[in-house]
Structure 1
């Protein structure tokens, strides 16, 4: 298996694609305004203990209290992301004997808050490093089951025991295989220092308080995904490249030759990294219900609140023989591999029901299950396959750690009262940026005027025009962005393209001294005392206009800018 890691960062939003043997298998996105919580360690305060639910609610400083189930309150060996040998856990005690209201405890987020639900937390803390995981309450050594060589397992166990400080526990990760004592000891000492800092801070602060924040997305990916299977790490964006360079220099210098700055390639002049590798197209496909198989069959994937269903169909596949059961079997085998890829790519968690095409042969059913288990073996969320039900459906579960790709890239559709979904404004703005760059790369036009939905246009422009300036720097052209409520949230309209003078005349429909009659539509977000009106999608910032929302006013234009103009209300409104 050959793996490529593709890292792209625009507008302070890192995106990472994992490609295995030429196929996209995972996509990670971190929104600037929606920071990841999983892995963070807090000093929390127990608010409620519910014996009937065998759970507790703990204040950790977030909007909603976090949920602590009794099994996660036992503070045993942590359930790390890799398969490890199970250690002996303490006898299970009821929640009311473990916790009391007002008690302060250290907890770690293991599941992001979703909807009306708060974050799910655990007392079984774990701090992952490059080769080892420190388990403060583990008191033992666990070796990843993916390390199969008995001699290597014994070597690693002996090394870990030699520098472990009881009662702290150590989990040896798969990537530790073949590493020297010096490398492992250095990793352990770094983890130990992090834990000492957490302990010290816990003594100094009152609950609720954040004690430890996990690494950034780029650093986490390099820590968890870089191994001997990786053949290339391609990075787009100066800040992202420097971050990757610094991390690998400190924690994986042997992988530095694999690091490539995408800007050094000629393709970067016309295409973004994700466009060049086809990741943008794959992202769009991952949001659809129907997934075509190479044979002509297809999957239909429906994500719901309680569970996800996946239906397998033969579609256009008629088989290579006249044997119907063989056609069904071959389709199901291919579908099993694609099901594993799709649930990992879409990051689907919880209960998953797969409706394979009916198979009469018990041997065929067993082979399909084995293929599904084999295909999910390297999924870091460790799906559990429970087998066929009496109705012939395959039941499986997969850990929920973060938002699914669908929830990350889309939101409930405002046009159909939430019955469907549309791309988030951030998703659309990134796609439009790429389309603009692609469009200008094949044109000698000096300037471009684009219309988008106002909420998307504001992201394209950015604070004080920062994003627009960056886009102009990258393309070497003058770009005008205009908001228009009539433009769909997922679309853009090219209104003009050509020489700067002509495009600017169309982009700026006003000049200083013009008198206008406009309806004030809404208050200004940054300056609440001002009001916002629009003229052909062009923003008019009306000084002191917030009190006139919904009213028609006569104004005079006093200043004209690229993306908006300033106007004052004329005193004589009679």
Structure 2
């Protein structure tokens, strides 16, 4: 399986696509105007205390005040406040935590007005970006994410990812990191640290400690709303989290980003530096790799499945609803139960992919095709968990209810990605909407293949718009000639000016319309 990262950079935004075997698996879009990223640490000012919510609203420079709940303060918030006050007053000349005397932990059931007051300045970290009408969500439990570890100031614990299952390896990593970690820093060991030697882990730890100390030095002269420690760009953070031995290449069309990524890869994985390549082809980078067409087909309300079924995805204010349909081509199985299972398993694969692609969060309700067999329901539940494993967001999956519904909750830390996939109709000039016209040729060829191979029709005529007629017939080796070599049957094409560019009709030898 090939893994490729394609990055399209421009002055205003950055688009990042992760391809597996040339199929789009993840898509991220970073707007130039959005400066509040998950992981950024700001010097905020308490604007308002709300005892009824046991929370505070913090000004970090966004148009809406950010939200900080008491449970997000963290047990060591008093130590954080004390240390930041010392840094700002310049009484503490060292940014290191070694020798710093920690304050007692706060009460888990306490009130926020016992810890914070209006006008109080506090270091806060963004854990959820602004979504819809809400401002960012904050925490005072600061953490700095690296390639192999996460550094947690004002803590002394060492914990490890549950995905590292080998007991010996767990003990080795905990023992190793405990021996090298600085005083008053806690560590969370990430899954990718498995099998790594002490030199790599120590280098990652040193980078994070250096990042913390640089931020504390900046805090001495920082003003309210200033960013003290910034998370790396989206491209670098994705590389940090997903880069593995299976990565084949990273392409970018932006010269500055090429240098930044190459430098970052050289730091975290010097042996992979050669996979970073600068794209300078004539076609746009997303066109060259076929990403634009995939975006148009994958972000619509209706998503086709490989086995002939399709999904209908609806978004509401409170939740997302996904309906699974078998379509009219999923009839190759011997009985209804087997057909339902096959379509549901294919839908589960695509749904897991869609959740990552669109970054859908909150509550997701999936209406699968009804199945009677408890074994089949259990299999679908287990497969759904398997397909969701690559997802880096936290999620919970519940078994199918007696109504055939599956419920999923998925953590949402950024606004959901939405790409417009509908266009103005060239016939009605915008009074209605059509599916993206870029997909019409794919639909024609898919229908043709089904009619010739599944329905075994012999003499086919396709009536279509003159634009499409020219597309299939022009050239020395036309598209129609390629069909002949592929299917060993000649397909008649008729230009019909009465048809819109996005419509076509198949006729049999008697001139009757073939239903698809």
Please give the range of the TM-score, normalised by the shorter of the 2 chains.
Answer: 0.7 to 0.9
The answer (yes or no) to whether the contact 1:30–1:36 under 8 Å persists in 2 is no
Residues 301, 175 of structure 1: alpha-carbon distance in 2 compared, 3 angstrom cutoff: same
| 2:27 matches 1:27 | yes
| 2:346 matches 1:334 | yes
2:166 maps to what in 1?
149
Which of 232, 237, 240 is matched with 1:220 structurally? 237
| 2:116 matches 1:99 | yes
Structure 2, unaligned runs of 5 or more: 78-104, 425-431, 437-516
| 2:276 matches 1:259 | yes
Write the distance in 1 (CA, Å) between the matches of 2:158 and 2:412: 26
Write the distance in 2 (CA, Å) between the matches of 1:177 and 1:25: 25
1:450 maps to what in 2?
none
Write the distance in 1 (CA, Å) between the matches of 2:293 and 2:344: 25
The answer (yes or no) to whether the contact 2:132–2:415 under 8 Å persists in 1 is no
CA offset at residue 133 of structure 1?
Answer: 1.2
Write the distance in 1 (CA, Å) between the matches of 2:242 and 2:307: 31
| 2:399 matches 1:382 | no
The answer (yes or no) to whether the contact 2:309–2:330 under 8 Å persists in 1 is no
| 2:333 matches 1:316 | no
Q: Is the partner of 1:400 in helix, strand or coil?
A: coil
Superposed CA offset, 1:138-197 (max 9, x none): 421122223233222222212211121232111122222232212211211111121123
| 2:21 matches 1:9 | no
CA offset at residue 106 of structure 1?
Answer: 1.4
Write the distance in 1 (CA, Å) between the matches of 2:57 and 2:106: 23
Write the distance in 2 (CA, Å) between the matches of 1:201 and 1:90: 31
Residues 289, 93 of structure 1: alpha-carbon distance in 2 compared, 3 angstrom cutoff: same
C-alpha RMSD of the superposition: 3.0
The answer (yes or no) to whether the contact 2:71–2:108 under 8 Å persists in 1 is no
1:55 maps to what in 2?
55
Q: Is the partner of 1:161 in helix, strand or coil?
A: helix
**Which runs of structure 1 show a deviation greater than 4 angstroms over 4 or more consecutive aligned residues?**
408-411, 419-423
| 2:358 matches 1:346 | yes
1:165 maps to what in 2?
182
Residues 92, 226 of structure 1: alpha-carbon distance in 2 compared, 3 angstrom cutoff: farther
Q: Is the partner of 2:169 in helix, strand or coil?
A: helix
Matches within 5 A, 1:51-130: 51-75=51-75, 91-130=108-147
1:232 maps to what in 2?
249
CA offset at residue 28 of structure 1?
Answer: 1.3
TM-score under structure 2 normalisation?
0.72
Superposed CA offset, 1:388-435 (max 9, x none): 3454321111111112220x7699x9xxxxx99999xxxxxxxxxxxx
Higher-RCO chain (CA-CA 8 Å, sequence separation at least 6)? 2
Residues 421, 108 of structure 1: alpha-carbon distance in 2 compared, 3 angstrom cutoff: farther
Structure 1, unaligned runs of 5 or more: 78-87, 414-418, 424-574
Write the distance in 1 (CA, Å) between the matches of 2:125 and 2:357: 25
The answer (yes or no) to whether the contact 2:42–2:124 under 8 Å persists in 1 is yes
TM-score under structure 1 normalisation?
0.65
Superposed CA offset, 1:485-543 (max 9, x none): xxxxxxxxxxxxxxxxxxxxxxxxxxxxxxxxxxxxxxxxxxxxxxxxxxxxxxxxxxx
What is the count of residue pairs matched by the alignment? 405
Write the distance in 1 (CA, Å) between the matches of 2:405 and 2:115: 40
Residues 13, 209 of structure 1: alpha-carbon distance in 2 compared, 3 angstrom cutoff: closer
Write the distance in 1 (CA, Å) between the matches of 2:244 and 2:215: 29
The answer (yes or no) to whether the contact 2:148–2:204 under 8 Å persists in 1 is yes
Superposed CA offset, 1:186-244 (max 9, x none): 21111112112323333443433321111122222222221112122222232222222
Superposed CA offset, 1:437-485 (max 9, x none): xxxxxxxxxxxxxxxxxxxxxxxxxxxxxxxxxxxxxxxxxxxxxxxxx
